Amino acid sequence: MQSLRQLLPSSVEHPGPVAKAVTIPSLRVEDAPRFTWRGMMLDVSRHFLPPADVKRFIDLISLHKLNRLHLHLADDQGWRIEIKSWPNLAIHGGSTAVGGGAGGFYTQADYADIVEYARRRFVMVVPEIDMPAHTNAALASYPGLNCDGVAPPLYTGVEVGFSALCVDADITYRFIEDVIRELSAITPGPFLHIGGDEVKKLSDAQYTRFIERVQSVVQSHGKLMVGWDEISSTRLLPTSVVQFWRPNVSPRAAVAQGVRIIVSPYNKVYLDMKYDSATVLGLSWAGNIEVRDAYAWDPAMLHADLPESSVLGVEAPLWSETVVDIRDFERMAFPRLAAVAEIGWSPARARVWEEFRLRLAAQAPRWSALGINFYRSPQIPWREAR
Q: Tell me whether residue 144 or residue 287 sits nearer to ligand ACM (CB atom).
A: 287
Element (H, E) at 215: helix 204-220
Instruction: Please list, residue by residue across 328-349, b when 16 or more beta carbons sit within 10 angstroms of its beta carbon and e when fewer do.
Output: bbbbbbbbbbbbbbbbbbbeee
> How far is Cα 20 from Cα 4, in angstroms, rounded to an integer?
18
Residue nearest to ligand ACM (CB): 197
Q: Tell me whether residue 139 or residue 316 sits nearer to ligand ACM (CB atom).
A: 316
Q: Tell me whether residue 76 or residue 197 sits nearer to ligand ACM (CB atom).
A: 197
Among 59, 198, 204, 276, binds ligand ACM (CB under 6 A): 198
CB of 266 to ligand ACM, least distance (A): 6
Active site residue 198: yes
CB of 139 to ligand ACM, least distance (A): 18
CB of 245 to ligand ACM, least distance (A): 4
Question: Who contacts 351 (Cβ-Cβ below 8 Å, separation ≥6)?
Answer: 295, 298, 342, 343
Among 207, 228, 374, 382, binds ligand ACM (CB under 6 A): 228
Residue 30 phi, psi (nearest 5): -120, 110
**How many Cβ atoms sit within 10 Å of the Cβ of residue 244?**
24
CB of 228 to ligand ACM, least distance (A): 5
**How many Cβ atoms sit within 10 Å of the Cβ of residue 172?**
23
From the list 116, 198, 355, 384, the catalytic residue is 198
Residue 56 phi, psi (nearest 5): -60, -40
CA distances (Å), 154 to each of 37, 78, 92, 198, 257, in order?
35, 8, 8, 19, 38
- 321 contacts ligand ACM (rule: CB under 6 A): no
What is the SS3 assignment for 55? helix
Total of chain residues touching ligand ACM, rule CB under 6 A: 4
Among 245, 275, 329, 367, binds ligand ACM (CB under 6 A): 245
Among 43, 82, 197, 290, binds ligand ACM (CB under 6 A): 197
| Burial class for 23, CB neighbours closer than 10 Å (0-12, 13-18, 19+) | exposed
CB of 334 to ligand ACM, least distance (A): 21
Instruction: Using CB under 6 A, list all residues that contact ligand ACM.
Output: 197-198, 228, 245
Which residues are tagged catalytic? 198
